[in-house]
Amino acid sequence: MRKIAPLLALGAFLASSAAAGAADQADRIINGRYQAILGDCVACHTKAGGQPFAGGEPLQTPFGTLVPPNITPDRETGIGNWSKDDFIRMMKTGIGHDGTRLYPAMPYTAYTKMPEKDISDLWDYLTTIEPVSNEVVANQLPFPFNIRLLMLGWNMLNFTEGAFEPDPNQSAEWNRGAYIVQGPGHCGTCHSPKSFLGADKDGEFLQGASLQGWYAPNITGNPHIGIGSWSEEELVQYLKTGTNAHTVASGPMTEAIADSTSKMTDADLKAIAVYLKSLSPEAASKPAPVGAADRRMIAGAAIYHDTCSACHGMDGKGARQLFPALAGNAIVQQPSAETLAHLVLAGSQGVGTAGAPTTPAMPSLAWRLNDQQIADVLTYIRNSWGNAAPPVAPDAIGDVRGK
């Protein structure tokens, strides 16, 4: 009996240790899955109709086409032959497991701010995904941009490796929001204007940028073209459901909401709202609206009455959570009308979320309206009901139609 007791104790200890280890591993995987949500990994690395994280969806850049790779643990076509250290180095520095330098379309410039523990947990999560055999030719850029060695110089000019540094003068909530926006959420990748080298213009952080035929709007505190008129609660509602009293999500933002922000915790959404609402707007005056007597305004008013007013109202106030208000809409008044042109030409389907499952839709009007007519009606919308924005040229519509 004296010999059995220590053996029983040892067995209990080993069982307890195994249970603790399994619980710790489960916690790491759960946290890793949440890091994938924060980083919106599935949006870029999943082709429409394809397997999650298997890559293959082309990404159009000003320099040519890049295709996000397969990041499932498949050993032949994915990251199954990578090590955890390889993965952490890639996320922190933009250098792959074989020394390949990544292009910043993979936002390592933001992911570098993530703690190594969260990246490690993300790796643990990715190793649990079903391996998918899907060969992807990622670099489809023309010469000379297809030479990855050029990224050595690009990084020297535009990239600073390092973890997020909290601001001691701000609250923990503000710092959490700043970390998500600047780090894993990589909001600046879409919403910040780019230099001629494709780097974020730090002095114009989140002030709006063109992206794959859409215009990612200004999300600073600018009251005219930003989110200055939104409350924190309205911003949280938009990120969680894809709609609020001001707008309905469209374009690439529907993917970001469906795959990322709608799955974030309420605490993180609130932190993001607190941070974004704190960003001071850039010094810019509201432009003078195009006069009502302008030929384009007169023509646009007639088109709006016949084609748009049934849903958006003659007063431009729309129908809450179904048809967005156009009056006072910051997206309507952006410097670029790319997004509006895209919506009119191709139509749009709202994102379906647990909080707003209706997915309101707008039909394509490309078959019905020519470039001049679309330019006129958008000029009218952008300069009615208190709105003010530059007029839209037919050539700008033609450019979007041709993409």
C-alpha distances (whole Å) from 182 to each of 163, 202, 216 are 11, 11, 16
Query: What is the DSSP code (8-state) at residue 206?
Result: T
53: tokens are: 């994280």
The whole-angstrom separation of Cα 217 and Cα 224 is 11
Residue 186 annotated as binding site: no
Long-range pairs for 233-241: beta carbons < 8 A, 24 or more residues apart: 233/273, 235/272, 235/273, 235/276, 235/277, 236/266, 236/269, 236/270, 236/272, 236/273, 237/355, 239/264, 239/269, 239/272, 239/273, 240/264, 240/266, 240/269, 240/353, 240/355, 241/353, 241/354, 241/355, 241/356
Phi/psi for 233 (5° steps) reads -65, -40
The whole-angstrom separation of Cα 48 and Cα 54 is 11
Q: Which residues of 270-286 are buried (b: 16+ CB within 10 A; e: fewer)?
A: bbbbbbbbebebbeeee
Beta strand 139-140 pairing with 209-211: unpaired
Residue 150's contacts (CB-CB under 8 Å, 6 or more residues apart) are 144
Residue 305 annotated as binding site: no
Residue 41 annotated as binding site: yes
SS3 state of residue 209? strand
Could you tell me the maximum CA-CA distance found in the chain, to the nearest angstrom? 102
Ranges of beta strands (E only) in 180-318 are: 209-211, 214-216
User: Is residue 157 a contact partner of residue 197, using CB atoms and an 8 Å limit?
Assistant: yes
Residue 97 annotated as binding site: no
In DSSP terms, which residues pair with 66 in a beta bridge? Answer: 59, 139
Residue 246 annotated as binding site: no
Output the known binding site for heme c. Answer: 41, 44-45, 187, 190-191, 308, 311-312
Residues in the annotated binding site: 41, 44-45, 187, 190-191, 308, 311-312
